[in-house]
Amino acid sequence: MQTIDTLIFPRWIVPVEPEGTVLEGIALAIDQGRILDLLPADVAPLRYAARQSLQLPTHCLLPGLVNAHTHLAMNLLRGFADDLPLMRWLQEHIWPTEARWVSESFVHDGTQLAAAELIRGGVTCVNDMYFFPDVSARALAAAGLRASIGMIVIEFPSAWATDAEDYLAKGLVLRESLRHDPLLSFCFAPHAPYTVSAATLTRIRALADELDAPIHMHVHETAGEITQFEQAHGCRPLQQLDRLGLLSPALMAVHMTQLDDAEIARLADTGVSVVHCPESNLKLASGFCPTARLDAAGVNVALGTDGAASNNDLDMFSEMRSAALLAKAVANDASAVPAHQALRMATLNGARAIGLGAQTGSLVPGKWADVIAVDLGDLESQPLFNPISQIVYASGRHQVSDVWVGGRQLLRHRELTTLDREMLLARAEHWRTQIATAH
């Protein structure tokens, strides 16, 4: 008999690997932060003495969701500028507001507010890109979330850094100081081809090669951005990235709504991951990412929400459903992106894109115990033929009852264990008053 930390007895387990698998009568054993075993529920108590044992008779256990593209502190700008196209939204509203308000305390409070929303929505890992990444990294680790932190670069000054060299230097110092935290990993995060010069991208590519770090970037978000880039540089942004040597398995190209067949083939050949943000793309009318064609070509497609100022939430359940529905409409094919594929995009594919595919994203022994429980016991989930279909097409984030990251429970019966709800409400109201009064 082996003493372990936790045994969970759910009704179902959807491990995501192998894809489409639904297990019944199986218990999940967790020890020292990692998944130790999946074994028959009647055998588990004979083999393991658990310090904590949990019966979840109407629940499905899943790997925690991976939100592969966020700007978390922008939670404080939720609903601030709606119903605008990307460039007017950014240039006339968001960038001036960020220039006025973004500070250490803005990023701290916005990221904490986002962390609470993520945990309550079953997200256990994020890939974030925002100013003051030192503050967001510490806030996310303190909340207990797993995070890939962007060492951001943009060719204009902000409260965080003065120029590209300063952004890079500060990012590298941050990575060096926190890279041994088991919850944190670091990637380069040049904002976009239209805001970061070729010289800076060349430098980032060399650094990324040297440090074996991923690169997280907005690419081909809108048709207008491509036309403008062609006028200025005589080629499409993706061609430019290819010439600079950035197309590789290290690259997470976010949005990708404008892609021809040759570009899809090139992404597949070079191993680039695409991060699809269906709801942000719909709200800003940015275009449609051809996810079914990308998947068929062998491209790893992950899912992200983008920031709460363009989405306007961090709900990965809704994002999975939107991704599955939109893919069918775009491909004119009802079989495009079935439920199990949407779930893989929101879990394992996200983990792979970030470079954490061996550590999280599926319920496999040896991986971190990043696990969520979804309650499928209520009327809205009946009758239940297939839990994966129910989760993707008919469930909401309010059904997430419990969340663990690295075996630590961050949500218990929908109560946050690491964040103070009243304090978060007070800080959100503080920022709303400040920003609204000045506006």
Residues found near Zn ion in the complex (CB under 5 A)? 306
- Quote the DSSP letter at residue 362: S
The encoded tokens of residue 125 equal 């890992």
Nearest to ligand LTUXU72L of 42, 83 (CB atom): 83
- Rounded Cα distance, 430 and 439, in Å: 14
- 69 marked ligand binding residue: yes
Type of residue found at 97: T
**Where do we find the tokens 């000045």?**
438
Among 5, 31, 37, 98, binds ligand LTUXU72L (CB under 6 A): 98
Phi, psi angles (nearest 5°) of residue 138? -70, -40
71 scored as a contact of ligand LTUXU72L (CB under 6 A): yes
Closest CB 307 distance from ligand LTUXU72L, rounded Å? 5
Q: Give bridge partners of residue 219 from the DSSP assignment.
A: 255
Question: Cα(first)–Cα(last) distance of the chain, in Å?
Answer: 64
Nearest to ligand LTUXU72L of 306, 315 (CB atom): 306
Binding track, positions 126-155, relative to ligand LTUXU72L; x by CB under 6 A: ---xxx--------------------x-x-
Among 5, 306, 375, 402, binds ligand LTUXU72L (CB under 6 A): 306
- 71 marked ligand binding residue: yes
- 370 marked ligand binding residue: no
Q: 10 Å Cβ neighbour count for 199?
A: 11
- Quote the DSSP letter at residue 247: -
Interface region with ligand LTUXU72L, contact rule CB under 6 A, candidates 209-217, 288-296, 306-314, 375-383: 306-314
Among 15, 64, 307, 350, binds ligand LTUXU72L (CB under 6 A): 307
Closest CB 285 distance from Zn ion, rounded Å? 15
Sign of CA dihedral 309, 312, 313, 318: negative
Q: Which of residues 199-228 bind ligand LTUXU72L (CB under 6 A)?
A: 218, 221
**Where do we find the tokens 């001036």?**
96
- 306 marked ligand binding residue: yes
Closest CB 96 distance from ligand LTUXU72L, rounded Å? 11
Closest CB 210 distance from ligand LTUXU72L, rounded Å? 22
Is residue 160 classed as helix, strand or coil in its secondary structure? Answer: coil
- 98 marked ligand binding residue: yes
Q: 10 Å Cβ neighbour count for 206?
A: 11
Nearest to ligand LTUXU72L of 144, 287 (CB atom): 287
Q: Which of residues 176-195 bind ligand LTUXU72L (CB under 6 A)?
A: 191-192
Distance from the Cα of residue 64 to its chain's centroid: 11
Q: Which of residues 409-438 bind ligand LTUXU72L (CB under 6 A)?
A: none
Closest CB 131 distance from Zn ion, rounded Å? 13
- 191 marked ligand binding residue: yes
- Quote the DSSP letter at residue 20: T
Partner whose footprint covers residue 154, from Zn ion, ligand LTUXU72L, none (CB < 5 to 8 Å by kind): ligand LTUXU72L
Q: Are 143 and 112 in contact (CB under 8 A)?
A: yes
- Rounded Cα distance, 133 and 185, in Å: 12
Question: What is the C-alpha radius of gyration for the chain, rounded to an integer number of angstroms?
Answer: 21
Partner whose footprint covers residue 131, from ligand LTUXU72L, Zn ion, none (CB < 5 to 8 Å by kind): ligand LTUXU72L
Q: Please count the CA atoms within 13 angstroms of the CA of 28 that sit on its side-chain side.
A: 35
Q: Which residue is nearest to ligand LTUXU72L (CB)?
A: 152
Q: Is 245 exposed, middle or buried, given 0-12, 13-18 or 19+ CB atoms closer than 10 A?
A: middle
Nearest to ligand LTUXU72L of 219, 416 (CB atom): 219
Task: For the sheet with 215-219, list strands across it.
Answer: 65-70, 123-128, 146-153, 184-190, 215-219, 251-255, 273-276, 300-303
Q: What residue ranges bind ligand LTUXU72L (CB under 6 A)?
A: 71, 86, 90, 94, 98, 129-131, 152, 154, 191-192, 218, 221, 280, 306-307, 310
Q: Mark the binding-site residues for Zn(2+), compressed into ranges.
A: 69, 71, 218, 306
